[in-house]
Amino acid sequence: MKPLIIGTGFLGEQLYYDLKKSVDKIVVTHRTNRKFDFSYKFDFFTDSIKDTFSSEEIDTIFIPAKIEFTEDQHLLKRKMVELAEWAADKRVIYISSDGIFDGEKGSYIETDPINPVTLYGRNLNICETLIREQVKNYCIIRPSYLYGFVNSKLDSRFRKIQEDVTEGKKVTRFTDMYKSPLSYKQASEYIVKLSLSDFVGTIHISGPRMSICDFTKEGMEALGLSTDTLKGEKMPLSKPVDFLSDTSLNSSLAQKLIGIIPLGIKESFETYYKERVTPKTQYL
């Protein structure tokens, strides 16, 4: 494999560490935060991919960058078309999200109809559609919440909870909003295995379905934090459009294809992050 990773946020960085176990050369990019000395500064929306990278040096493209967080749908579509045309003869691994669903059903499988109700979800749909239409060898991967440590740094969601607990603030989470959380480490293992497979299509990777409140509680316990300040509450009756009730995913297809069994939060921390959770690191 001759991979290019567009974006080295938490997931992109973890993908690099897992890919380098078996790949000699990996091309990585960053937009603002350079994590590797050899990383290319590349802005998906302003730079030209064909002018930045040699087509001969790349055969697999991973797209974990958060390109969907934009209000300019016309620009997103134009740049995705540009990428798809350049990558037409390559394997494209696009990381989508459970946000493409409306949250009315839950436990979604890959063949369930999509109904994006947020701008983010509609942007995901733009990207997925263009890849399906213009790239022959593709794998669209949909995770749910991702969490955990990457290179000793804790994800922003749990890091904020640590700060709130340290300051004695109340932590409030919904008991009737559901996700399928998966650790960054296991998500990366799924993605690498799928990239090396012959699978073409859309696939879900996810952990067990749970409420946001239970997810927060189990994460706090795994980090050795007190849950005394955690309060569960129902979503407001007049909830905003981006409050999706249940976007949990069914990952049985991925489990069947590549044989990874998703771990719960406690098991994930014990398996991957145990050395990170000590009295000295709890409140970083």
193 three-class SS: helix
Spatial contact of 113 and 102, defined as CB atoms under 8 Å apart: no
Q: Could you report the per-residue pLDDT of 45-104, keeping only the tens digit for each?
A: 999 999 999 877 899 999 999 999 999 999 999 999 999 999 999 999 999 999 999 999
Residue with tokens 């055969």: 59
- CA-to-CA distance for 218 and 146, rounded, in angstroms? 14
Radius of gyration of the chain measured on its C-alpha atoms: 19
What count of other Cβ atoms lies within 10 Å of the Cβ of residue 131? 22
Q: How far apart are the first and last CA of the chain?
A: 37
Please give the CATH topology (third level) of the domain spanning 3-145+182-204.
Rossmann fold (3.40.50)
Confidence band for 279, pLDDT divided at 50, 70 and 90: very low
- CA-to-CA distance for 192 and 123, rounded, in angstroms? 24
- CA-to-CA distance for 251 and 255, rounded, in angstroms? 6
pTM for the model: 0.94
Residue with tokens 């990207």: 127
Could you state, in order of their start, the residue ranges of all structural domains in the chain?
3-145+182-204
Q: Could you report the per-residue pLDDT of 153-184, keeping only the tens digit for each?
A: 999 999 999 999 989 999 999 999 999 999 99
Mean pLDDT of the chain: 93
